[in-house]
Amino acid sequence: MADRDELIRRRPLVAEAAALRSGERDPLAHVEQTCDRIAAIDGRIHAFVAEPDRRGRLRAEAAEVRARWPEPAEWPALYGVPVGVKDIMHADGLATGAGSAVPAGELTGEQSTVVTRLRAAGAVVAGKTVTAEFAVTAPGPTRNPHHFDHSPGGSSSGSAAAVAAGMVPLAIVTQTVGSMIRPAAYCGVVGFKPSYGRVPVTGVIANAPSLDTLGLFAADLAGVAHAAVVVCDCWRPEAAREATGAGRALPVLGVPTGPYLDRADADALAAFDARVERLRAAGFTVRRVPLMVDFDVVYAQQFVVNRYEVARTHAEWFPRFGDLYRPETVAAIRQGQAVAEADYAAAREHQRAFRDRVYATLAAEGVDLWITPAATGTAPRGLATTGNSVMCLPWSYAGVPALTVPAGSLAPGLPLGVQCVARAGADEELLSWAPAIEAATVMETAAATPIATDAAAGPA
């Protein structure tokens, strides 16, 4: 795309937060430049939900941040940092639309815990980011900044595009099946899905509660690690240090072979295999491990859990506003309504057994991390679909933490990602091991472009 260099910008969160906390950047000037960037390009990308006076609201939020922490020694981790918030999370001062035509007054609720934590850490909400309707499958208007003719992924489409295009350095998102890992890969950013339950989902419109997980998009690994400390429950910095401490060996990587891996497109799988060889050359032990030989069963049982719970989430809204729902969402709800209670109970038992099997295989094979393609291929052409979530599905089903590491691109300049998956609760270790994996896979990205330090210089 002719203007790709104008659209793709990296705003490293750690550098931006450091500039604000050191006093080099002023929160008010900083939100002005964020608004300038959004105003300059979002009319083409459509990552943010429109609001009547974004600039005025952000000026007020930035002024409130300065007043709340007048002493520089007390400036918190995200002091003055603009954050995108997926439009299924309630945030005081902003309506929640969930990408739907359901009246906004029907979707109100108390501010989500994750937004409260972000604001307590000094962040300002740059706006609501576009989501597929109710975070299911009906796509929003967002375009992929790398190529407008291709999907940005979903359901966290606006969030991934906003980070890729440098409109914000951080976005807060959700994943039920593949709504973080896949759009992160399609848009060339880092996506971190913590362990199930590690970030509270209170104040977030549910998709399927047994699967829903909150997470992060940032331009780089350091950014998601910086924000994870703020949003995750009981973060263990000592575990992160121990994972890569002096004398520690590189993690052992496992490639799950079989019907699951066979779902990847041939060109994406070839690119993934090339990166596996780079990891071996860099000193990693990589083991190819048969896993999910019954993947069709795993897929089907996850679908039962997902659709049953989607239908129950909408049990009150759908009878009243079903004529306002989009066809894809209607179909998902109808599928869930047809699931028998006994079939749902059996699927939940299968989910528990599958999780145990994944853990047992890790232990038996001496594997620390699974690595896989982050998606079946690059972003598909057109905006009628958010792409195939199958590479993310089993890990969401098992409730384990996953991470997308950008890993080059295929023609016509569309990003690829490598997915790294750890055992439940090993979020800190996953983020600590990931930089060595990133370095070995020779990530290709746009040059880092921090916000200009001179307010008169305009947006980066």
Dist. CA 394–CA 302, nearest whole Å: 8
**Domains of the chain with CATH codes:** 4-295+347-457 (3.90.1300.10)
String of DSSP letters for 250-296: PPPEEEEESTTGGGS-HHHHHHHHHHHHHHHHTT--EEEEE--TTHH
Dist. CA 158–CA 141, nearest whole Å: 9
Amino acid at 156: S
Run of H or E residues at 16:
helix 13-21
pLDDT in tens, 320-360: 999 999 999 999 999 999 999 999 999 999 999 999 999 99
pLDDT in tens, 257-286: 999 999 999 999 999 999 999 999 999 999
* Residue 366 burial by Cβ neighbours in a 10 Å radius (0-12, 13-18, 19+): exposed
Please give the torsion angle defined by the CA atoms of residues 452, 455, 458 and 460, in that order, rounded to the nearest 10 degrees: 10
Provide Rg for the chain, Cα atoms: 21
pLDDT in tens, 380-417: 999 999 999 999 999 999 999 999 999 999 988 999 99
Closest CA to 236 of 432, 32, 97, 453: 432
Output the pLDDT for position 225.
97
Contacts of 57 (CB under 8 A, 6+ apart): 51, 93
Run of H or E residues at 373:
strand 369-373
Q: How confident is the model at residue 248 (pLDDT cuts 50, 70, 90)?
A: confident
By annotation, the residues acting in catalysis are 86, 155, 179
Q: How confident is the model at residue 453 (pLDDT cuts 50, 70, 90)?
A: very low
pTM assigned to the model: 0.94
Dist. CA 137–CA 161, nearest whole Å: 17
User: Is 154's pLDDT higher than 70?
Assistant: yes
